């Protein structure tokens, strides 16, 4: 051929070629799915790698059900294999048909087998699984010993308000706890139904408007755990994530003490001007800064210690100055459908505002 055709699909294809291509695509898709599942396991923590007592209980039940299902499947498919083979051999050989007496005996045996194998045994397995699951779930309702802290987590479209009512602390998208100690977590919603989920520490718990659900959480190891909204709640449901950070006791106490303090005073003239910009701009209508604005502004996250947080917009962006600037200028471009409007400021005012917010540690 003189000219190379770059679009292969312009070439006529015979059916077998098409089938071959389709099979190739299927294999490629399956391989991609398997690779994604395996590689995904490296990045995304899963519930089957528990790091706390509640998640360990869930994983225990899960594995028990999984192996039960494996054993049942192996038995059922082995019997199916025998049946198919027997039907084929009896079709090939000229076995005489059973007499009516023999036939009735075979029918009786088959009925008994179906009733026991297909009815009684599955019923027993399902009853055992139900009892096991319910008793496992009941453990979660009992308050464990040694609970010192209560944390109220309120779901918003599309971020998490985090409050330590005994300490006057309000923050967002980041939950800190002492490692190895259970905390009481009260789950609420400010708008629609969300679901609170830290896969390595606990099962998914709904956050329902007008209702408070209580769970007890504990992390066995210090570290940062991934948390996510697990109930479709609107356009940015996928970007409604948080960090659950288990810290050594002294580290946690120090964090709590810093968070309980009022906002830091600006240390230079630019940040001072930025504070005035903040108070006079629409920002203060939705966001509180303790010690500066009235606490009534709760539509958006509390910004008293904004600069101490690791991420912005519910783990959508790392909290670095460039991202904060971009977020203020174009929140709808970054996270379309979220509740934050863009704020128009003069360039000097904008820089001053960034300097002020950057000092809120």
Nearer to ligand CUA, 158 or 216 (CB): 158
**49 Cβ neighbours under 8 A, 6+ residues apart:** 59, 200
Residue spans of alpha helices (H) in the chain? 15-43, 53-92, 100-115, 121-141, 249-260, 269-280, 283-286, 321-329, 331-334, 347-358
Least distance (Å) between residue 153 CB and ligand CUA = 12
Nearer to ligand CUA, 233 or 313 (CB): 233
Least distance (Å) between residue 343 CB and ligand CUA = 24
Least distance (Å) between residue 192 CB and ligand CUA = 7
Least distance (Å) between residue 241 CB and ligand CUA = 10
Least distance (Å) between residue 161 CB and ligand CUA = 12
Question: For residue 196, with 0-12 CB atoms within 10 Å meaning exposed, 13-18 middle and 19 or more buried, which class applies?
Answer: buried
CA distances from 273 to 278, 310, 345, 351 (A): 9, 25, 13, 10
φ/ψ (deg, to 5) at 312: -115, 155
CA distances from 254 to 215, 247, 249 (A): 25, 10, 9
* Whole-angstrom distance, CA of residue 351 vs CA of residue 321: 10
Nearer to ligand CUA, 190 or 329 (CB): 190
- Please tell me whether residue 193 adopts helix, strand or coil conformation: coil
Nearer to ligand CUA, 172 or 357 (CB): 172
Least distance (Å) between residue 157 CB and ligand CUA = 7
Nearer to ligand CUA, 157 or 352 (CB): 157
Contact 344, 281 (CB under 8 A): no
Least distance (Å) between residue 240 CB and ligand CUA = 4
For 83, the token pair is 């049946």
Least distance (Å) between residue 238 CB and ligand CUA = 8
Nearer to ligand CUA, 66 or 232 (CB): 232
Nearer to ligand CUA, 194 or 309 (CB): 194
* Whole-angstrom distance, CA of residue 267 vs CA of residue 23: 66
- Which residues here bind ligand CUA, judged by CB under 6 A? 155, 158, 194, 229, 231-233, 237, 240
Contact 125, 72 (CB under 8 A): yes
Contact 310, 319 (CB under 8 A): yes
Nearer to ligand CUA, 177 or 230 (CB): 230
């Amino acid at each position: 051929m003189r000219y190379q055709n770059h679009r292969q699909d312009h070439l006529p294809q015979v059916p077998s070629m098409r089938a071959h291509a389709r099979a190739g695509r299927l294999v490629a898709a399956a391989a991609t799915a398997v690779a994604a599942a395996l590689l995904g396991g490296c990045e995304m923590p899963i519930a089957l790698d528990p790091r706390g007592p509640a998640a360990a209980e869930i994983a225990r039940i899960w594995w028990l059900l999984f192996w039960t299902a494996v054993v049942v499947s192996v038995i059922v498919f082995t019997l199916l294999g025998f049946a198919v083979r027997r039907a084929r051999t009896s079709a090939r050989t000229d076995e005489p048909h059973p007499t009516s007496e023999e036939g009735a005996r075979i029918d009786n045996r088959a009925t008994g087998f179906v009733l026991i194998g297909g009815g009684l045994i599955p019923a027993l397995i399902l009853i055992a699984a139900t009892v096991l699951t319910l008793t496992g779930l009941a453990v979660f309702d009992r308050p464990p010993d040694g609970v010192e802290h209560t944390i109220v987590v309120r779901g918003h479209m599309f971020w998490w308000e985090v409050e330590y009512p005994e300490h006057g602390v309000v923050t967002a998208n980041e939950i800190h706890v002492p490692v190895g100690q259970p905390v009481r977590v009260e789950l609420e919603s400010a708008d629609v139904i969300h679901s609170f989920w830290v896969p390595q520490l606990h099962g998914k718990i709904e956050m329902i408007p007008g209702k408070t659900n209580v769970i007890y959480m504990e992390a066995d190891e210090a570290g940062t755990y991934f948390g996510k909204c697990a109930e479709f709640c609107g356009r940015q449901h996928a970007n409604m994530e948080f960090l659950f950070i288990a810290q050594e006791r002294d580290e946690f106490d120090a964090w709590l003490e810093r968070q309980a303090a009022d906002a830091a005073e600006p240390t230079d003239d630019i940040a001072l001007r930025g504070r005035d910009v903040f108070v006079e701009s629409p920002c203060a209508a939705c966001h509180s800064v303790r010690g500066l604005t009235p606490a009534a502004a709760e539509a958006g996250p509390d910004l008293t210690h904004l600069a101490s947080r690791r991420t912005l917009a519910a783990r959508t962006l790392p909290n670095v100055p460039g991202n904060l600037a971009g977020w203020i200028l174009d929140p709808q471009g970054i996270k379309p459908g979220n509740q934050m409007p863009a704020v128009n400021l003069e360039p000097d005012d904008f820089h001053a505002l960034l300097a002020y917010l950057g000092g809120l540690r």
